[in-house]
Structure 1
């Protein structure tokens, strides 16, 4: 009877010795964001179509800063009342959602 209990203890001990946790390798995800570089331009350098869209779509707003990138996309920072907005437009005056 002692041999039976001893062999059962050895077998159960052997099972628990093999039940170890497996280390999971960490995965690293790199996020690369491509940001078009905008260069500040004067309000006089804006195309007439962009100015017309700005006046039509945002009346009573003031153009604070204007930027342009290599793809002729214009980033316009406007002030309406006490709120500031950033809008994007192409060279033809079409508004772009970003």
Structure 2
């Protein structure tokens, strides 16, 4: 069976995420003939201190009453931290990537 569904890959990077407290909205992206955006609640929406992610349709006020769209999504979250160590006395530095 052929898969004729529109597939989109969208990447949204948030710098200094651990310092964020307010809700963050991604830029809009297009998939399935619709415009979408992701809303991130770093400190949670329903459950405090738990990350919450929501997929929203953009420009919802321009859609007719009762508008619907079935969408499937896969979410991959990566938390990357960079640590820099200075090795004395030669002043060499090394970059350690933790994932």
**Structure 1 length normalisation: TM-score?**
0.30
Largest Rg, 1 or 2: 1
User: Which has the larger share of helix?
Assistant: 1
The structure whose RCO (Cα within 8 Å, separation 6+) is larger is 1
**Structure 2 length normalisation: TM-score?**
0.30
